[in-house]
Structure 1
């Protein structure tokens, strides 16, 4: 068995506690069409989730296949996919979670919030459309080669738009996840955060980051693409497409405008969501409009 040194860091301050089942209730507030789930987030529950992710489970977790039609060097302005040339970005991390009895991988990033505990990812990394919510959800910031310098943060509340929860609409494939503090520290105080913006002009230069784990990528290092996205040419969603060969596992990774390679931060305007089966070199991300703004307004105070 591989020594789980990162698990030891995650469990700092959580010793001598017995495991319990992770349960929660789904709530749909009709006033702002945001759906959320509360998760037990005390020390006992954190310990149970963190202990769940053994080295074997992390290694065997699957990449989420997003829904779609058929299933510090200065970065390049146009890059269809490569490993990030510098250190892992502190605010971007890998996500491990379970859903319907299987273990999965995604990506996520911290965002500015009044609770200092917020990350943004894809909706399908938190809820399977109208189906199950994720469990055993852990965010590991600055992930690299099997772990991260700051350990991990478990989820305490998840939010998705009603359009995703009831119809699995790819144009609203976004989730905001509120994390539990780790050893009494909020994630934003540990790693910093990115800004977030809504209703931005389409087609602006972006950089997208994530942990792809299929084909030429093994998920151990941060990867990125860059360029100018364009509207969905099929007209099936309100999403935008960016030429990008990142694969499964990069779902939920941030799309940043105004990215600063010196600070490793920017303004998040979308997240990686899906690819069309006959267009595997284009990644699509939902447009952050009013629905995502309402989602953020609810989650950042949660």
Structure 2
């Protein structure tokens, strides 16, 4: 995958600095996730289809390690070098639907994605304050593939996630930013990521439309056969393509102009359909081809003569071709009318306008009180499984005053917190100055590594990259990335 690697410079730097050699190592890396509206629409629909079946199918993303590592103090200074700074949380959020997690920040949620083997995975994350109110903070390894020059597929953020529900919508990742060393060398000293996301996406109730609207619709669509009575059928039987019959056995063929004749539709291959004549007659074309979007299960189960494929949204499609079969009515005959149905999507607006965003802090002293949030799910090394991953959990305390190293992940300077949350909490925020009544604070880390420091088979510590000047540079670059809606006010795909 092509990537953009540019050193971040401030407006006040001299011309000499701006003309630095091209070989100078950048401190940040950026990758596109799903920047195009059509692809973003498909990614959001993938996770929300069938009442969130894919969301419920996902499991926590766990790095392949044989044993929980041990965190070792480096004895380094208790504060990163550089001028301390912070940006405040977003407080002027819109009214949103109620959540069962009322005692937790609305900003907390899960990121979902497909890993390198196509498995449905999730990590933890939070919405953060940014210029365009569209930024998510999580662990770098929950966005960028470990050991590969690439990002995960169908990456989305679901704030307030609870038991397969997305109470405030799905936000598809557009662009991801992380430390250059993580992206290039898998150096977990930079295990953080900021992701600019598109506007929120939700599915509204489906709608019945005319065939003309159906053909023109740029979103999801399918055909529902609606049973009607014989009188209703007689009113529309000549509207070939909308009404048809289905009977038992093998009824006698009839001419299309016979006063009692009714027409069945017979699904045929594209080749047969293309050879058929147009008009009213035995074996003639029955309307125009119908392309509908189907589930992966329907796609796999379909054995008919229609054409199977994928549309530009990445959805499975089947195109059906029909010819006419005129017969005399028989007992038990049923009559049908095609209900042309479209799936309507809803634009929810920018992430920060819907759920708000936590503040961000950098170059802060270690040894401060933090509250860490996440969706732990994995068992402890000894097999005990106290967490389900269904709802977010938290732990709080003071970080260690000295940084730590973890040789397994090339970590030389992480901050450490005593906490028993297990994998699944990856990417969850560490909040300084957390205000329980306002449910806001300042992100000063994200969960990266889980450790069993006393060797008893239980996770007892977690660690995070230290949010220093480099993190501030990456954050500053990410927060200027603009995104927007992926669907029109009508609810179809935005071209």
Normalising by structure 1, report the TM-score: 0.81
> Which structure 1 residue ranges, 4+ long, deviate > 6 Å from structure 2?
none
Partner residue of 1:185? Answer: 349
Answering whether residue 182 of structure 2 is matched by residue 164 of structure 1, we say yes
CA distance in 2, matches of 1:224, 1:66: 21
Which of 132, 135, 149 in structure 2 is aligned with 1:115? 132
Partner residue of 2:168? Answer: 150
CA distance in 1, matches of 2:443, 2:355: 16
Partner residue of 1:59? Answer: 56
Q: 1:203 to 1:177 in 2, by over 3 A?
A: same
Which of 136, 149, 159 in structure 2 is aligned with 1:141? 159
Q: Deviations over 1:64-96 (max 9, x none)?
A: 22477945xxxxxxxxxxxx9853421111111
**Kept in 2: contact 1:68–1:275 (CA 8 A):** no
Q: Deviations over 1:155-212 (max 9, x none)?
A: 1100111111112122110000000012161100111111101100101000000111
**Whose Rg is larger?**
2
Partner residue of 2:142? Answer: 125
**Kept in 1: contact 2:139–2:191 (CA 8 A):** yes
Unaligned runs of 5+ in 2: 9-25, 69-99, 201-346, 379-384, 482-495
- 1:221 Cα offset (Å): 0.8
Partner residue of 2:467? Answer: 288
**Kept in 2: contact 1:68–1:276 (CA 8 A):** no
Please give the root-mean-square deviation of Cα atoms over the aligned residues, in Å.
2.2
Q: 1:69 to 1:265 in 2, by over 3 A?
A: farther
- 1:151 Cα offset (Å): 1.3
| Residue aligned with 2:349, SS | coil
**Kept in 2: contact 1:209–1:255 (CA 8 A):** yes
Answering whether residue 217 of structure 2 is matched by residue 220 of structure 1, we say no
Partner residue of 2:399? Answer: 229
Q: Deviations over 1:245-272 (max 9, x none)?
A: 1111111100001001111110110000
Number of aligned positions between the proteins = 267
Partner residue of 1:14? Answer: none
Task: Report matched runs for 1:33-112 at 5 Å.
Answer: 33-53=27-47, 54=49, 55-66=52-63, 70=67, 86-100=102-116, 101-112=118-129
CA distance in 1, matches of 2:121, 2:470: 26
Unaligned runs of 5+ in 1: 1-23, 72-83
Normalising by structure 2, report the TM-score: 0.51
**Kept in 1: contact 2:415–2:466 (CA 8 A):** yes
Which of 3, 7, 28 in structure 1 is aligned with 2:5? 28
| Residue aligned with 2:460, SS | strand
CA distance in 1, matches of 2:101, 2:195: 28
